[in-house]
Amino acid sequence: MKNEESQSSSKRAVANSSFFILHSSFLNSPILRLALPSVVTNITVPLLGLVDTTVVGHMGRAEYIAAVAIGTTIFNMTYWLFGFLRMGTTGIVSQAHGAGDEAGIRAGLTHSLRFGLLISLCLLLLQTPLLRFALWLMQPSAEVAHFVAQYFRVCIWGAPAMLASYALTGWFIGMQDTRTPMWMAILQNLVNILCTLLFVFVFDMGVRGVALGTVVGVYAGVIYASFNEKLKIKNEKLMDVASLLPTLGGVGVGLFLRTLCLVAVTVYFTTAGSRMGTLTLDANALLMQFFIIYSYFTDGLANAAEALSGEYVGRQDRVGLLQVVRQLFRWGIGLALFFTALYALAGPWFLSLLTNQQEVIDFALSYLPWLIAVPLVGLAAFIWDGVYIGMTLTSRMFLSMLVSAIVFFVLWFGLGSCYGNHALWLAFVAYLATRSLMQTLLFIYGRISFRS
């Protein structure tokens, strides 16, 4: 009898230890499984920009480079404002996936695609006033403006596919799949590069060829994703605009306003640097590459946070949510410490890779300590962004971003005249620190909501 009890006890111990190992593995592997493909996706972005810059750099006129740079900026800023289609879809779908709500999973995608179609139609209809506003804002020379218009008139037709790719990417991440968006981005960029080379150097289409390559690439990525076996959308009405409001509407407003604040800080940072002279502008642009590289990796963690936190909210599993948040921060702190050490030890060498202008390198080195502080100071902001998106608590994201933007501008306008570029970097680091602190406090003291 005692023998049987002992065996039974041993079996329970083995079962418990197996559960612990599986549970620990669950907390570790999904984060890497979701984060690593997202990092690869992010890394493909600068490759495309490098190829486009190289192509226009060999087209024989400096105006082409300026035109493509301005045109790219116009579309980046425009599409950035509609990033809520990607993020909002991830939060809604990940919660539906966690709850086993098949109808909610289908609706999350179809509503997002319809919303994207409506927005893209508006962009197409308003393309002339949009172009005029962008040219008025950026004030290029008449010759550059001519080529910007050529680029814009072609590239705007990629809007339906670009916004559809946002919806699809958000849906796949919400379904715990970051590999499909990775392959979609890789295919999109490869087709873009090949088509751009073909249109420019074989068909001699100039700036229009660069834009057409971008458009074809985006549509190729969307077509690839559309054949994915996970996409099984049935029994949905063709158009139900009213149904968009309770799903993406509420989530999208918070994300849209949050993005406006983010764009305001980002654009003004560059503007303030340019007003201090070319040397400051160049140095800040180089130093910002450090932040961008770090963000490629932390964005991967943020995407994992979106999918996993939404999954646990959908399951109404408070304990699981808290565990995955702790695990995300363990990975994040390790990543932040790695980049802090990397920038501290290899910062001067990295700057020398980016430019051979010793004057710019020497000037940038005096501001390098601010960049060394960024990984640890900004880590929580990236991770909490992902968690809040998964939980669809976008109003909290907007609140923290609004306060952080106010901190940025108050510090800059209060100290900028005395401390120059150091004040600008102080304001930027404080902006990241405020986001991290506020979102942490809002999570700790705010009520965690679950699907009813």
pLDDT, tens digit (0-9, with 9 covering 90-100), for 395-424: 889 999 999 999 999 999 999 989 999 999
φ and ψ of 451, to 5 deg: -60, 140
Q: What's the pLDDT at 383?
A: 95
Read off the pLDDT of each residue in 236-243 and give the average, rounded to a whole number. Answer: 42
Per-residue pLDDT at 445: 84
Encode pLDDT of 335-345 as tens digits.
999 999 999 99
Residue 89 CA to residue 112 CA, distance in Å, equals: 7
Which tokens hold the place of 361? 């390198």
| pLDDT exceeds cutoff 90 at 46 | no
pLDDT at 235: 42
Q: What pTM was computed for the model?
A: 0.81
Alpha-carbon distances of 329 from 23, 290, 325, 334, rounded to whole Å: 17, 21, 6, 8
Radius of gyration for the chain, computed over Cα atoms and rounded to the nearest angstrom: 24
What is residue 129's predicted lDDT score, i.e. its pLDDT?
95
Contact 427, 408 (CB under 8 A): yes
- Span 312-323, average pLDDT: 90
Which of 448 and 124 is assigned the larger pLDDT? 124
Q: Which segment, 17-26, 267-276, 355-364, 419-428, is predicted with the most confidence on average?
A: 419-428
In our burial notation (b when 16+ CB lie closer than 10 A, e otherwise), range 216-253 reads: bbbbbbbebbeebeeeeeeebeeeeeebbeebbeebbe
How far apart are the C-alpha atoms of 152 and 338, rounded to whole Å?
Answer: 41
281 — pLDDT class (breaks 50, 70, 90): confident
Residue entry with tokens 């976008």: 394
d(CA 79, CA 253): 15
- pLDDT of 387 reads 93
Q: For residue 314, is pLDDT > 70?
A: yes
pLDDT at 249: 56
